Structure 1
Amino acid sequence: MTGIDERVATKTEDKPGISGAADVTPIAGSPTAQPARSVHADAVAAIMAANHGDPFSVLGPHEVAPGAWEVRAVLPEAKSAALLIGSERIPFERKHPEGFYVARVSSKGRPLYEIAVETWDGTERRRHDPYGFGPSLHQGDIHALREVGSNVTYRVLGAQALTLDEVAGFRFAVWAPNARKVSIVGDFNEWDGRRHPMRLWQDGGIWELFVPGLTAGAHYKFEIRGPDGSLLPLKADPVAFAAQKPPETASVLQGTNDPVWTDAEWMRTRGEKDPRHAPISIYEVHLGSWARVAEEGNRYLTYKELGERLIPYVKEMGFTHIEMLPITEFPFDGSWGYQPVSLFAPTSRFGTPDDFAAFVDAAHQAGIGVMLDWVPGHFPLDAHGLGQFDGTHLYEHADPRQGFHQDWGTYIYNFGRSEVATFLAANARFWLEHYHLDGLRVDAVASMLYLDYSRRQGEWIPNQYGGNENLDAIHFLRKTNEATYSHAPGTITVAEESTSWPGVSHPTYTGGLGFGFKWNMGWMHDTLNFVSKETIHRRYHHHDLTFGLLYAFSENFILPLSHDEVVHGKGSLLAKMPGDRWQKFANLRAYFGFMWGHPGKKLLFMGGEFGQDREWNHNQSLDWHLLDDGFHRGVKDLVRDLNHLYCTTPALHARDSEAAGFQWLVADDQDNSVIAWARKGREPGEVAVVVSNFTPVPRGGYRIGVPEAGFYREAINSDAERYGGSNMGNMGGVQAEATPSHGQPYSVALTIPPLATTIFVREG
């Protein structure tokens, strides 16, 4: 027996996924696999050319006659090789000059063996044969990859650390249904596509292979031959759990073993809270530029260092959550993370996945929630990424009118393909469940909802009803929100949705999209427009302050002053303010007081809290030296005090999303640019009064109606001397008088400081 059938075979038509194969056993998952004859020379040639779509029909142990087995292996690095069965050592025969080996053994059943390889430098290495193991996937897993909302994607696909037949290694699985061949390549096999070709599950398009002996930390990619037979650029694993630090692009073996957690109490109590009634004040952070180590080449802080510095700072400042700009691995620093390639891998710029988990754990120990900017709407064109992953438009729409984002030069996911929607929904669950994150802010939702988003007539395809709504994206968003709220109680999802789409934060069973909250982009645009005007002109723009209250309770809103407002030539928040230096800071303080007193949860991008005066630059640290200046330090102290007041005063947060928690007191004093309202909690007597004066003119004896009797403590005065103000105020508070005003049964006569917001909390 030669091991290779040298006879001339009749040429047969190539099967899908198989090139040059003869006498091939059925693919994994078939119920009728039969014993194989000796392998044909054409099949060997295809294996050695890395052009065979069914390697298990050739490699590994094969019964070629009753009780007679051939074990075949590709060992291009071997000078010689032997089959090890117990104490028996059976030499392999080289049957192809590039390293195709065959050993013959008699066995009543499938032989259990190892391979000993003598390399050309005289070293001998023992290893288990990947092709000696059966399939490790199950038909149910394959089917679940089409169930939007399941977490099977990250439990099954990617590189999973597991043990088969008491042998440890990694099981690789990747979705590439149109590929003719897929191989694992990495630094463990010299990036040689002949060494580890994978098995195809035809009914699901999943390629799978268990590689014994691998350990965490190794680098790998997939070598894919497209449906036309051409080799594609090496592809990173779409479900890689770790990745190389850019500009390197390989995936890294990590596995999904649970990190070490000490946040059990946080996780237990998280689900008991109703976020709508809880204080939420979010500090939005770009981890790469919050602070850097200038004396070490301006390097990033690590996850560990961020845990030691950022978390205590956020705690001291009174924010309830950190929201990270995207940290899913991305190639280009200038994208700030909004063009990710590896959605399941925390960026290696700051450390390992375990380091990232420790950062989240430290935040929870400090009582701080952690949120992620999540990007399911589009992905970049990088050759190692998802684009044309198996030689076809697999993750993206083929038609550029649906699949290409003109503004950002990126691909758009095909939300109507169940495997793609399942991939993305599982990714949402992954961050909330595996990494214990507390929320996802979903980027660019408007671009997902509208088929004609940023497109002219003729550049988009209407839906089946002729409309511009992306029905597939709507279904995907609803299913994802249902899955996250079902499986990760206490977490929140937040939509960055810039239009008036109805019901974004309404439950799906009422026809909504199912988000927990929505960014109030209208409020942000209107109020920034107002405060950027010279004070003498503000009377003509008073409606910018009041208009938002017409719709303030139509959604569960978050008031965002995000990174988008301090880039691309927009300048910093401080730079938007008119007037001399004193007035700029006073305006900013008054605006922050107005924001924290306004209905809606809060979000502030880093640097705004101390009045950074230059536009944000992702390549530089924030200007922390500015805190040596009293004005900047005063803004920081005000934001800290606003946060602590907001979190401890139910009237300011418990009914952020309810009309019953708000009452106008003064809405029409545009001549003086004075505005005032009452905030109410869920319990009787919980009242706060917010008064803003957006002119530099102080107002003495200004009477305002209030809904309850009692003493109104001046809890915040943005004009206080400790914040950098003129220290005009009300000597700690005022007693309500039984003098009706503004439709209220009681009133207070106030001294209203210039360019300031004062917040009064009712006591007694």
Structure 2
Amino acid sequence: MSSHSNGTLAAEDVSALEAGRHGDPFACLGRHPSGKTTVIRTMAPGAERVEVFTPKGRAPVTTLKKIGDHGLFEGTLAASKAKSGYLLKAWQGEQSWTYDDPYRFGPVLDDFNLHLLSEGSHERAYECLGAHVMTYEGADGTHFAVWAPSASNVSVVGDFNHWNAAQHPMRSRGASGIWELFVPGIEDGAHYKFCIFGAGGRQLPLKSDPFAFGTEYRPNTASVVRDLKGYDWTDEGWMKGRGALQDRTKPISVYEVHLGSWQRTWDAENPFLDYHELAEKLIPYVKGLGFTHIELLPVTEHPFDGSWGYQPVGLYSPTRRFGTPADFKAFVNACHEAGIGVILDWVPGHFPSDEHGLAHFDGTHLYEHADPKKGFHPDWNTLIFNFGRREVENYLVSNAQFWLEEYHLDGLRVDAVASMLYLDYSREDGEWIPNEHGGNENLEAIQFLKHMNERVYSLSDGIMTVAEESTAWPGVSTPTSAGGLGFGFKWNMGWMNDTLDYMSKEPVHRKHHHHQLTFGINYAFSENYILPLSHDEVVHGKGSLIGRMPGDRWQKFANLRAYYGFMWTHPGKKLLFMGGEFAQEREWNADASLDWHLLENADHKNIQTLVSDLNRLYASTPALHRRDCTADGFEWIDGGAAEDNVVSFLRWGDPGDPPCLVVCNFSPVPRHGYRVGVPYGGHWAEVMNTDSAHYGGSDVGNYGGHAAEDVPWHIKPYSLMLTLPPLGTVVFRHEG
């Protein structure tokens, strides 16, 4: 029994309040009319006495009495003195602190927003849930709201209340499952979590906010109040014009970056460059190489560095490793001012089971499927979102919109789409549950992806979504109105696997694998493709790109140069993972900087120069990009010269654009007098030769180009008599 009076409360209410387990704290705390007086109750753990002041008063109007053992106080005052609000001052010895009473404020969320959240149709759920700095009913503070429908009660705890669940229990909003509380005096930078008690009264591990805009620096896991309002964007020109830059007819060349290992500091405690340092170093580097976009491996908050961001816990928070949300906005703004688009690697398919995250969030399988045959990912030991639950789908779709609108991002590359589309992905018979039609398609995930793409593409011009999808699923980049998934682009994983395997063969064996070079054209225009040489190709024992090339050192670099020439002239947009632009020799290590010292070596510097020149050739030559995604932009001259290890083809732009002839010799033997058919007479200028001495090659070439001869060849009315450099790609542009 309490050693103090229970005041006007029942003993069980006092006990529940002081334990932080009261299901309806607003029924007890705050101000409550009682005839001609007002009863005021407050939780002030650690206080010896509490005084009540009017907002402008200097002297207390009443002193509250302690009615429990752990900080519950109660008192009365005239009703007229409480109408205009009041402040509370708690004393512990000679120390005191003044605070406004959270329990004198009404609910913040109105019925309309609760309705939209409940039916999963709120386009900006993040504007309601999470932590929002605001002025409410005349007081400055932060509104906290969290979805936990099976909780018996929820408190917000943080550095502002000594992580004491009894001090700030939240208001239940009934059937919506949402709990909310406006806490006056809480500002940007406060650390917090939610203390949730399950339906049976069991206290769960403290949970980070699923909608948190900020987080602590790892390994700490608290959410951080961040006020996202007020950033002064200066990228209006880019935002208005990007629609004309991200169309499938435009040159798109993407530099894929892991911010944690592009460059590092010497500080073992904080080895990462921050967003401002990255803006100063990364942006001009990418701009100088001629890339049009930066694609960031996930920067959504993740507890484990080794996941590279692919196991996120804070989907609404840019990781604290590199700075604050305002710092990230400054980075994106700087990219746009430099004319560089920013694509975020986005992971809506799964999440880790860390106890402070979404797993078993309110004591139930709230965000994940309860059945492990649908809710557990065997490859990554992660949990799979329950895409069929309307609130979960709304959480994810709103998240996509959040990054694009709040941070002005230009696109989302959606990770592991295949794992979402198939119920039997990486599962044996008996380990998965068929859909309602008996098939292996995840109908709920399909609907989610379609809904996400429809929402994203309705926002503004120029936004793009890209699917990492490794199967033959039809219509990935077809609009949903035509029965597709609605993505803008799809990674061409088949092309990447086939051509890398071909390039790894010794040239003497390549004739037996020639189809790996040519097969990709059979489906190259079934989707809007991006050709990716991504991070996945330089990890897990695969080695580096240069390390996979056969031959001696000269041949390795020549092979890589020829391969890059083939890639940049092949139909499809381009993506290259960092380090590939200067032929990093060791496998990528996410815990260390790239080997920048290699640029002191001419072989590596020459590769960097080649990539820069290829980007500029690609961007300045309409025939190499205008029809990347349509069959009328490509024509074989000779795709069957397997014995020679040679392919030749034409690239076409719009009517009036000069066509380009591309000839790749993947043999170490120079070929003189090699006749290739062309459609037009006149001069064909050699505009790229990967064997040029400028790139470290043997300088075998065609002296700037040739005039076409009136000799029909390859079913063409004219032909060129060429010299093909060893392990080289040459590009000719018709100049009439």
Q: Shared topology, TM-score over 0.5?
A: yes
Residue in structure 2 matched with residue 80 of structure 1 by the alignment: 49
Matched, 1:753 2:725: yes
1:562 is matched with which residue? 534
Other-structure match for 2:565: 593
Q: Partner residue of 1:763?
A: 735
Query: Residue 686 of structure 2: which of 686, 692, 714 is its match?
Result: 714
Matched, 1:63 2:33: yes
CA contact (8 A) 2:210 2:315 kept: yes
Match of 1:29 in 2: none
Q: Which residues of structure 1 form unaligned runs of 5+? A: 8-37
What's 1:618 paired with?
590
| Greater displacement, 249-258 / 305-314 | 249-258
Secondary structure in structure 2 of the residue aligned to 1:487: coil
State the aligned residue count.
730
Distance change in 2, residues 1:181/1:296 (3 Å): closer
286-295 vs 227-236, which deviates more?
286-295
Find the counterpart in structure 2 of residue 379 from structure 1.
Answer: 351
Between stretches 351-360 and 76-85, larger displacement belongs to 76-85
After superposition, where does 1:187-336 map in structure 2 within 5 Å?
Answer: 187-273=159-245, 275-294=247-266, 299-336=271-308
Structure 1 residue identity aligned to 2:558: A
1:571 equivalent in alignment to 2:543: yes
Paired amino acid for 1:64 = S
1:104 counterpart (76, 94, 108): 76
Paired position in structure 1 for 2:627: 655
Q: Displacement of 1:150 after TM fit?
A: 4.2
Indicate the RMSD between aligned Cα atoms, in angstroms: 1.5
- Of the structure 1 ranges 121-130 and 444-453, higher mean CA displacement relative to structure 2 is found in 121-130
Q: Hey, what does 1:94 align to over in structure 2?
A: 66
1:546 to 482, 507, 518: 518
CA distance in structure 1 between the aligned counterparts of 2:144 and 2:300, rounded to whole angstroms: 21
**Deviation for aligned residue 1:300:** 1.2
The answer for the alignment partner of 1:740 in structure 2 is 712
* Structure-2 change in CA distance of 1:62 and 1:292 (3 Å): same
Task: Report if aligned partners of 1:81, 1:115 keep a CA contact under 8 Å in 2.
Answer: no
- Kindly indicate whether residue 593 of structure 2 is the aligned counterpart of residue 637 of structure 1: no
Please give the secondary structure, in 1, of the residue aligned with 2:721: strand
- In the TM superposition, what is the alpha-carbon distance from 1:295 to its structure 2 partner? 6.8
Q: In the aligned structure 1, how far is the partner of 2:413 from the partner of 2:444? A: 20
Q: Secondary structure at the match of 1:271?
A: helix
Q: SS at the partner of 1:276? A: coil
Written as runs of structure 1 = structure 2, the 5 A alignment for 1:9-28 is none
> Contact (CA 8 Å) 2:511, 2:644: kept in 1 or not?
yes
Q: Is the 8 A contact 1:181 1:198 kept in 2?
A: yes
CA deviation after TM superposition for structure 1 residue 43, in Å: 1.1
- Preserved CA contact (<8 Å) 1:5 1:41: no
- 1:368 aligned residue: 340
2:103 corresponds to 1:140: no
CA distance in 2: counterparts of 1:518 and 1:642, whole angstroms: 22
Report the residue type matching 1:629 in the other structure.
N
Task: Compute the displacement of 1:108 (Å).
Answer: 5.3
CA contact (8 A) 1:433 1:488 kept: no
Instruction: Supply the AA of the counterpart residue of 1:583.
Output: Q
What's the CA shift for 1:259?
A: 2.2
Residues 15-71 of structure 1: per-residue CA shift (max 9 Å, x gap):
xxxxxxxxxxxxxxxxxxxxxxx4322112111111111111111111133x32111
- The answer to whether structure 1 residue 678 and structure 2 residue 650 are counterparts is yes
Is 1:46 matched up with 2:16?
yes
| Per-residue deviation, residues 741-763 of structure 1 (Å, max 9, x unmatched) | 11122221111100001111222
The equivalent residue for 1:465 is 437
Letter of the structure 2 residue corresponding to residue 47 of structure 1 = L
Contact 1:224–1:231 (CA under 8 A) maintained in structure 2: yes
Distance in 2 of aligned mates of 1:226 and 1:40: 23
CA distance in 1 between counterparts of 2:87 and 2:164 reads: 19
Contact residue 52 and residue 88 of structure 2 kept, 8 A:
yes
Residues 295-316 of structure 1 deviation map (CA, whole Å, 9 limit, x = unaligned) = 7778111111110000000000
User: Bigger shift: 639-648 or 297-306?
Assistant: 297-306
Matches of 1:68 and 1:119 in 2, distance apart?
Answer: 24
1:418 to 369, 384, 390: 390
- Counterpart of 1:506 in structure 2: which amino acid? T
Separation of aligned partners in 1, 2:375 and 2:547: 39
Q: Flag structure 2 segments of 5+ consecutive residues without an equivalent.
A: none
> CA–CA distance in 1 between the matches of 2:245 and 2:616?
19
Matches of 1:365 and 1:256 in 2, distance apart?
A: 21
Matched, 1:492 2:464: yes
**Other-structure match for 2:156:** 184
Mapped contact 2:246–2:252 kept (Cα < 8 A): no
Check 1:752–1:6 CA distance in 2 against 1; reply closer, same or farther (3 A cut): closer
Distance in 1 separating the partners of 2:160 and 2:620: 56
CA shift at 1:488, angstroms? 3.5
TM-score (norm 2): 0.97
Matched-pair contact (CA < 8 Å) for 2:5–2:67: no
Please state how far the C-alpha of 1:704 moved relative to its aligned partner.
1.0
* Aligned 8 A contact 1:387 1:396 in 2: yes
Matching residue's letter, 1:411: L
CA gap of 1:580–1:559, structure 2 versus 1, over 3 A, is: same
Q: Do structure 1's residue 525 and structure 2's residue 497 form an aligned pair? A: yes
Deviates more, 1:125-134 or 1:242-251: 125-134
Kept in 2, the 8 Å contact 1:149–1:426? The answer is: no
1:716 is displaced (CA, Å) by 1.0
Matching residue's letter, 1:42? E
1:481-506 deviation per Cα after TM superposition (whole angstroms, max 9, x unaligned): 00011013211100000000000000
Question: Separation in 1 of the partners of 2:628 and 2:379?
Answer: 34
Q: What secondary structure sits across from 2:501 in the alignment?
A: helix
- 2:379 is the counterpart of 1:407: yes
Structure 1 residue 377, shift from structure 2 partner: 0.2
How far 1:613 sits from its partner (Å)?
0.7
Q: Any idea what SS the aligned residue of 2:576 has?
A: strand
1:130, 1:734 → 2: CA distance? 82
Shift in Å, 1:146: 4.7
Residue identity in the other structure for 2:29: L
Map of 2:451 onto structure 1 = 479
Q: Deviation digits for residues 569-605 of structure 1, max 9, x if unmatched?
A: 0000001000000000000000000000000000000
Letter in structure 2 aligned against 1:270: R
CA distance in structure 2 between the aligned counterparts of 1:451 and 1:327, rounded to whole angstroms:
28
CA spacing shift, 1:297–1:107, aligned 2, 3 Å = closer
Q: Secondary structure at the match of 2:67?
A: strand
Counterpart of 1:321, as a letter, is: H
Inter-partner Cα distance in structure 1 for 2:266 and 2:696 = 30
- Return the alpha-carbon distance in structure 2 between the equivalents of residues 90 and 597 of structure 1: 81
Asked if the contact 1:149–1:480 (Cα under 8 Å) also holds between the matched residues in 2, the reply is no
The answer to whether the Cα contact below 8 Å between 2:528 and 2:572 also exists between their aligned partners in 1 is: yes
Return the letter of the residue paired with 2:281: R
- The CA deviation string for residues 448-479 of structure 1, in whole angstroms up to 9 with x for no partner, is 00001000111111101110000000000000
Task: Decide which of 688, 698, 709 is 1:726's aligned counterpart.
Answer: 698
Partner amino acid, structure 2, of 1:69: T
- Aligned with 2:509 (options 537, 547, 554): 537
SS in 2 for 1:277: coil
**CA distances 1:516-544 after superposition (whole Å, capped 9, x unpaired):** 00000000000011000000000000000
Residue 623 of structure 1 deviates from its aligned partner by 0.5
